[in-house]
């Protein structure tokens, strides 16, 4: 199993896995599959070219099976220590093997060592059991945001989590 930072040249593998995540678990993410599918190839590549975005992917037998992404605000002095985490996904067939946890551990290490990030911040839908993974890793639930997501006439609440890694 290989964990690595996704380079712009890997954009097609990244796109494929992200679309798989949005198809398999649409309720877990704020972006719809239709929105992602309507992105141009250039837009997918641009996502991986941004210096303030870091995407990690796990590859097993040549097949991408997991990913996570972080983005931050390097030009905003007061906020530059915070990374917003999103898109955590492990393919159904590979779950329960510790891959999600390993992705988060590696992401924290990369962000701290290479980008001087001190604080992780993320949102989880109210009924998403992924919250248990974050809690086991020391993320602290600091709030419940009401009606944060609206989809097809239904409102959903989201928990806000944070972890100091400095």
Ligand X SMILES: CC(C)(COP(=O)(O)OP(=O)(O)OC[C@H]1O[C@@H](n2cnc3c(N)ncnc32)[C@H](O)[C@@H]1OP(=O)(O)O)[C@@H](O)C(=O)NCCC(=O)NCCS
Residue among 57 and 124 whose Cβ is closer to ligand X: 124
Residue among 133 and 160 whose Cβ is closer to ligand X: 133
CB of 57 to ligand X, least distance (A): 13
Q: What is the phi-psi region of residue 153: left when phi exceeds 0, alpha when psi lies from -120 to 50, beta otherwise?
A: left
Q: Which residue is nearest to ligand X (CB)?
A: 100
Residue among 61 and 77 whose Cβ is closer to ligand X: 61
What CA–CA distance (Å, rounded) separates 84 from 69? 8
Residue among 28 and 165 whose Cβ is closer to ligand X: 28
Residue among 45 and 84 whose Cβ is closer to ligand X: 84
CB of 59 to ligand X, least distance (A): 14
Q: Residue 95: which of 136, 126, 58, 124 has the closest Cα?
A: 58
CB 51 within 8 Å of CB 8: no
CB 57 within 8 Å of CB 78: no
What CA–CA distance (Å, rounded) separates 127 from 98? 21
CB of 81 to ligand X, least distance (A): 21
CB of 16 to ligand X, least distance (A): 15
CB 158 within 8 Å of CB 144: yes
CB of 40 to ligand X, least distance (A): 25
Residues of this chain that interact with ligand X (CB under 6 A) are 25, 28, 88-90, 95-101, 124, 128-130, 132-133, 136
**Listing from the earlier edge strand, what are the strands of the sheet with 63-72?**
2-5, 53-60, 63-72, 82-90, 119-125, 154-164, 140-151
């Amino acid at each position: 199993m290989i964990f690595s930072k996704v380079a712009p040249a890997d954009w097609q593998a990244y796109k494929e896995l992200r679309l798989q995540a949005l198809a398999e678990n649409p309720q877990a993410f704020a972006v719809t599959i239709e929105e992602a599918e309507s992105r141009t190839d250039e837009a997918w590549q641009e996502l991986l070219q941004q210096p303030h975005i870091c995407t990690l992917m796990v590859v097993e037998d040549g097949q991408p099976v997991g990913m996570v992404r972080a983005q931050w605000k390097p030009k905003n002095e007061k906020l530059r220590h915070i990374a917003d985490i999103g898109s955590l996904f492990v393919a159904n067939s590979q779950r329960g093997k510790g891959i999600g946890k390993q992705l988060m551990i590696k992401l924290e290490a990369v962000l701290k060592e290479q980008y001087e990030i001190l604080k992780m911040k993320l949102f989880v839908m109210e009924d998403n059991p992924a919250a248990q993974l974050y809690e086991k890793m020391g993320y602290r639930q600091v709030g419940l945001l009401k009606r944060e997501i609206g989809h097809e006439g239904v409102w959903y609440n989201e928990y806000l989590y944070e972890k100091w890694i400095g």
